[in-house]
Amino acid sequence: MKVLVINSGSSSIKYQLINMEDESVLALGLVERIGIEGSRLEQELANGEEFEIKKDIPDHSIGMELVINTLTDEDKGVIGDINEIVAVGHRVVHGGEYFDKSVIIDNDVKKKIEECAKLAPLHNPANLMGIEVCERLISNAKQVATFDSAFHQSMPQEVYTYALPYEFYEKYRVRRYGFHGTSHQFVAQEVAKKLDKDIKDLKIITCHLGNGASITAVDGGESLDTSMGLTPLEGLVMGTRCGDIDPAIVPFIMEKEDLSPEEMDYLMNNKSGFLGISGVSSDSRDIEDAAADGNERAQLAIDMFAYRVKKYIGAYTAAMNGIDALVFTAGIGENAIGLREDICNSLDFLGIKVDVQRNDVRGKFTQISPDESRVKVFVVPTNEELVIARDTKDLIG
């Protein structure tokens, strides 16, 4: 049984074709720069073979056609016929309060995804576009939606409610939702398996540290609290997002700089974080290089990032009244060796220890704490596509 996993963005389509018999990835690829100059598709096969097709891709429909043609191509393809794809699993960012798990897509589901676009205007419309294109082009396959926010629907009311007049929750559903849920859930489950313990008996803090970054307190297998909020802007310092700031800063800067709400939103989402602090780049590798060359603001960006991660770990340990395991995942979490060491070393009072040799690892499932460490610390490569494919398989039976 073959499942196609789609992550449709505003100008890109990421995809993986997964054989669910053994969960092997047959092909993975990316269509990017849809609707802009320089559009292209790149695909990698299980044997490591990579290739690229450069051509005009004016919209998602043409992009998806290209994906299908590439997957079924006589020479480079991995399937003989499109009907071999039994189901398509779609990543959808915001499911609001409607979805606490993956669902088979029908008209009602699509209507709700569209409604949630008010809360995720950059993501949900692009996700929906991917769904509709696949419904047309891969019409024999069942379509399933997996939501980034679903895992966090277990948060209790006192955690998800903001201390604003309650009417804004009632009128607009303004509350904490949280994101990266598929990733937090996956890495927490992997760690429970590795420890050979029932996840119900574990208190785990999962740090998804990538260009977008969030931390979750996973208590007994459920999300108790998470650092992102109504939108993916709240919480940690990120590549271009500011994370937590005093809300009074927003009207202050808008007034001083004569900014509209849209311009202020753009500034906080696209011009802040690593990029805004350092003035160098949004990419942590560039920031590390600049800091090594003596750039003080790049060093400040790193220090601020590490400090806030540490602060959330402390807060979530308190929220759960304990911690059994700490997990690092995503681009920075899986690769930034020095950062992991610094964060863990400054949390030794909690019983968190790191083994320097074990920590010398990138992108590999590894316990990086010494055996005697009371809190077990892991690097776990995330695999959101696999979660989507598994959910899709389970739902269609």
Interface ranges with ligand AMP (CB under 6 A): 210-211, 239, 283-285, 330-332, 335-336, 362
The 3-state DSSP class for residue 4 equals: strand
Name which of 285 and 374 has its Cβ closer to ligand AMP: 285
| 53 token code pair | 């097709």
CA angle (81 as vertex; 77, 86 as ends), nearest 5: 110
Name which of 99 and 179 has its Cβ closer to ligand AMP: 179
Name which of 265 and 286 has its Cβ closer to ligand AMP: 286
**Nearby residues of 14 by Cβ (< 8 Å), 6 or more positions away:** 6, 7, 8, 28, 29, 30
Closest Cα to residue 141, out of 298, 274, 262, 17?
17
Using a 10 angstrom Cβ sphere, with 0-12 exposed, 13-18 middle and 19 or more buried, the burial of residue 162 is middle
Cα separation of 113 and 123, whole Å? 10
Taking the complex as a whole, how short is the minimal distance between the CB of residue 232 and ligand AMP, in angstroms? 12
Q: Which of 22, 108, 148, 303 is catalytic?
A: 148
Provide the 8-state DSSP code for 71.
Answer: H
Taking the complex as a whole, how short is the minimal distance between the CB of residue 71 and ligand AMP, in angstroms? 24
Taking the complex as a whole, how short is the minimal distance between the CB of residue 292 and ligand AMP, in angstroms? 13
Taking the complex as a whole, how short is the minimal distance between the CB of residue 260 and ligand AMP, in angstroms? 29
Alpha carbon separation from 32 to 187, 233, 343, 396 (Å, rounded):
28, 24, 35, 30
Q: What is the DSSP string of 176-223?
A: ---S-HHHHHHHHHHHHHHHTS-GGG-EEEEEEESSSEEEEEEETTEE
- Please, what is the end-to-end C-alpha distance for the chain in angstroms? 11
Nearest residue (beta carbon) to ligand AMP? 331
Which residue(s) pair with 18 in the sheet?
Answer: 3, 25
Name which of 63 and 239 has its Cβ closer to ligand AMP: 239
Cα separation of 369 and 350, whole Å? 13
Taking the complex as a whole, how short is the minimal distance between the CB of residue 175 and ligand AMP, in angstroms? 25
Taking the complex as a whole, how short is the minimal distance between the CB of residue 213 and ligand AMP, in angstroms? 8
DSSP β-ladder status, 12-19 and 213-219: unpaired
Q: Are 341 and 353 in contact (CB under 8 A)?
A: no
Name which of 69 and 281 has its Cβ closer to ligand AMP: 281
Using a 10 angstrom Cβ sphere, with 0-12 exposed, 13-18 middle and 19 or more buried, the burial of residue 389 is buried
Name which of 87 and 330 has its Cβ closer to ligand AMP: 330
Taking the complex as a whole, how short is the minimal distance between the CB of residue 284 and ligand AMP, in angstroms? 4
| 120 token code pair | 């995720």
Name which of 100 and 289 has its Cβ closer to ligand AMP: 289
148 catalytic residue (yes or no): yes
Closest Cα to residue 184, out of 158, 159, 155, 145?
155
Catalytically active residues, by annotation = 148
